[in-house]
Amino acid sequence: MAGAAGEYLGNVGDLDAGTLSAIYLAVFIGGITFTGSIVAYSKLAGMMSSKALALPGRDQLNIGMLGILALGMATFLNPSLGSTVGLDGLDSESLQLASLTFSAAVSSVLGFHLVASM
């Protein structure tokens, strides 16, 4: 996750769509993996209850977070989409950075929720 973010920050504006896609997916997968691993370790070590977290509508929450992440990727790859949702005050690099940061946060919450629900 940090390596992908570093690659983006070191080459802002000089990356093609394939590299940008790989960076976004690495941050997305890294967020899920990082927090999911922490929750799994905590459950196995007895630092956290091994009982499954049972939030009402948990499947809808997961699908909603995946939808948000898909929209974030679309905005990351095509920053001009930001103007359609009222984010036209940001330049493309700022919008991409915000999208990548938001992806890290949402995917971390998703990783926590997926593993805690088991």
Work out the pLDDT band at 8, boundaries 50, 70, 90: confident
Q: HEC states along the chain?
A: CHHHHHHHHHCCCCCCHHHHHHHHHHHHHHHHHHHHHHHHHHHHCCCCCCCCCCCCCHHHHHHHHHHHHHHHHHHHHCHHHHHHHCCCCCCHHHHHHHHHHHHHHHHHHHHHHHHHCC
Q: pTM (2 decimals)?
A: 0.87
Q: Where are the domains of the chain?
A: 2-116
Q: Mean pLDDT, to the nearest integer, of 91-109?
A: 92
CA distance 75 to 95: 8
Residue 115 has a pLDDT of 95
Has residue 65 got a pLDDT over 90?
Answer: yes
